[in-house]
Amino acid sequence: MNNFPAFIDLKDRKVIIAGGGEEARRKARLYVAAGAHLSIIAPVIDAGLAAEFSEHASERVHMITATPAALDFEGAVIAVIADADEAQAAVYAKWARNAGALVNVVDQPALCDFTTPSIIDRGQVTIAISTDGAAPVLGQQLRAKVEALAPARLGNLAAFAGSFRDAVKATISADQRRSFWTDVFRGPIAHRFLQGDETGAREAMIDAVNRPQAERRDGVVHIVGAGPGDPELLTLKAVRLLQDADVILHDRLVSKEILDFARRDADRIYVGKAKADHAVPQEEIEARLISLAREGKNVVRLKGGDPFVFGRGGEELDALRKAGVAAFVTPGVTAATGCAASAGMALTHRDHSQAVTFVTGHARGEAEPDLNWSALAALEHTLVIYMGVSKASVIAGNLLDAGRRAATPVAIIENGSRPDQRIVKGALADLGALVDGHLIKGPAVLVVGEVAALADDTLCETALQTERLSA
């Protein structure tokens, strides 16, 4: 550490900026946000700068069109020198320092008492990143990443916690306080608050403060959508929850790259199900989620795609609610939209299809999918069939019998959004043959309807390529 970070209270204290250009403007924004009394002084002040702070002018921001003099720096806690002339800047820096101010000279680290960090401002929570002035752009990139992980209402959460500080001090012994707060911030109370349920969070907090110590730990289960495979399709919230989890129960379709977002010491439990090979029965998964939460664990139940689209997320949520366990759902990009995006094919399109229906091609046991084929065929819009690979020819036959045209375009997208993605295009009458001929194993979605013709040809596989693949 070359520089020591400290947070300075600038409310109603004098800060001076010597300079009237773009750099001065950027710095002025920061100091105004911190509540300082700001003097901006320069022989020429840009019209843009003047306009931006005009509403604060006179009370908070004082603009002086003049060449700075030594006296102008008197009483300043901080002086920022944003003057392009290096020799001049050095003179101002000296005057400012003599007046007792901490000095920052833009782009001249050697003349600085302090550097300005990249700042993440969440009200009561401020995060500052420094590269000692050596690589500000790197600092900004890092800031963008942290910014993404810090929930928007983090500052409000800190204020909420602050309002309980005295109550916690009065009821919880000093040696227990740290773990109490850890549970609050990682558990259901903070989550409730961040979701916007302030009343629920307050009630839960009062309840937690008043409960005997032995019963105090509350676990939580987050049912989280992992998207179709590309880790970049995770939501920011999914990433944050993964990094917070003690235990992750995941499916077969969740890739390793996604699990890599978890803390290194988090337990990962595979409860995947391949079709007809139910690794862990559903009831057992539910029972496990409940018992882990009751142990006080922060549990993530991670599912491919979206948990509420053919994901049995609804059943798990019901079971958790019945057991009185706090449970929350975070959506994910479902296979249909993920695959459509990577195939360059809209699911609805003003010229081709006014609606889209997601159906499952999978039925219990070996039975055939029990769907209202004539209704589906009559609508003539886009159909996305999940889990339909092994029944592709049966499905096509049913749609044709129900009156859908043999030449209706179809697209098959396997491993959508993953590096091994494959896309095959053709006509409805050939759907079964396309699946067999191209050795489609899944996971894949079958898209039936005019929009399927829009799938990007340059991404589609030809029969010849499949032959090479199988050789």
Contact present, 32 and 9 (Cβ < 8 Å)? no
Which region among 13-21, 177-185, 258-266, 438-446 touches ligand SAH (by CB under 6 A)? 438-446
Which region among 58-66, 309-317, 369-377, 455-463 touches ligand SAH (by CB under 6 A)? 309-317
128 phi and psi angles, rounded to 5 deg: -125, 135
> Which position has the token pair 């799938």?
455
Q: Is 311 in the site for ligand SAH (CB under 6 A)?
A: yes
| Alpha carbon separation from 291 to 165, 218, 274, 297, 419 (Å, rounded) | 31, 12, 24, 9, 37
Nearest to 448 by CA among 356, 374, 371: 356
- Tell me how crowded residue 364 is: count the other CB atoms within 10 A of its CB: 6
> CA end-to-end span of the chain, whole Å?
58
Shortest Å, Cβ 127 to ligand SAH = 34
Which region among 2-10, 102-110, 138-146, 408-416 touches ligand SAH (by CB under 6 A)? 408-416
What is the spatial order of strands in the sheet that 220-225 belongs to? 267-270, 247-250, 298-303, 220-225, 327-330
Shortest Å, Cβ 192 to ligand SAH = 25
Q: Which amino acid is at 253?
A: L
Among all residues, which ones are annotated catalytic?
Answer: 251, 273
- Number of residues this chain uses to bind ligand SAH (CB under 6 A): 25
If you count DSSP H runs as helices and E runs as strands, how many of each does the chain have, helices first? 18, 19
Task: Out of 334, 353, 382, 398, point to the residue binding ligand SAH (CB under 6 A).
Answer: 334
Shortest Å, Cβ 257 to ligand SAH = 13
Q: Which residues pair with 448 in a beta bridge?
A: 383, 410
Which region among 7-15, 124-132, 414-422, 432-440 touches ligand SAH (by CB under 6 A)? 414-422
Which region among 148-156, 159-167, 242-250, 331-339 touches ligand SAH (by CB under 6 A)? 331-339
Shortest Å, Cβ 413 to ligand SAH = 5
Q: Is 228 in the site for ligand SAH (CB under 6 A)?
A: yes
Two tokens, residue 194: 């961040």
Q: Is 415 in the site for ligand SAH (CB under 6 A)?
A: yes
Shortest Å, Cβ 394 to ligand SAH = 15
Which region among 106-114, 211-219, 301-309, 370-378 touches ligand SAH (by CB under 6 A)? 301-309
Q: Is 310 in the site for ligand SAH (CB under 6 A)?
A: yes
Task: Out of 238, 359, 387, 454, point to the residue binding ligand SAH (CB under 6 A).
Answer: 387
Which residues, including other chains, have CB under 8 Å from residue 262's CB and lie 6 or more apart?
242, 243, 245, 248, 268, 300
Shortest Å, Cβ 275 to ligand SAH = 8
- Footprint of ligand SAH on 336-365 (CB under 6 A): 339
- Footprint of ligand SAH on 58-87 (CB under 6 A): none
Q: Is 304 in the site for ligand SAH (CB under 6 A)?
A: yes
Cα 359 to chain centroid distance, Å, stands at 28
DSSP H helical segments within 163-281, as ranges? 165-171, 174-186, 188-195, 198-210, 236-244, 256-259
Shortest Å, Cβ 230 to ligand SAH = 8
* Calpha distance 78→82 (Å, rounded): 13
| Alpha carbon separation from 327 to 37, 84, 108 (Å, rounded) | 47, 56, 52
- Tell me how crowded residue 268 is: count the other CB atoms within 10 A of its CB: 15
Q: Is 306 in the site for ligand SAH (CB under 6 A)?
A: yes
Shortest Å, Cβ 354 to ligand SAH = 23
- Footprint of ligand SAH on 243-282 (CB under 6 A): 253
- Helix, strand, coil percent values for the chain (each to nearest 5): 45, 20, 35
DSSP labels for 33-63? HTT-EEEEEESS--HHHHHHTGGGBTTTEEE
Q: Is 331 in the site for ligand SAH (CB under 6 A)?
A: no
- Footprint of ligand SAH on 127-186 (CB under 6 A): none
Q: Is 442 in the site for ligand SAH (CB under 6 A)?
A: yes
User: Nearest residue by C-beta to ligand SAH?
Assistant: 305
Nearer to ligand SAH, 399 or 445 (CB): 445
Contact residues for ligand SAH, defined by CB under 6 A: 228-229, 253, 303-306, 309-311, 334-335, 339, 386-387, 413-418, 442-445
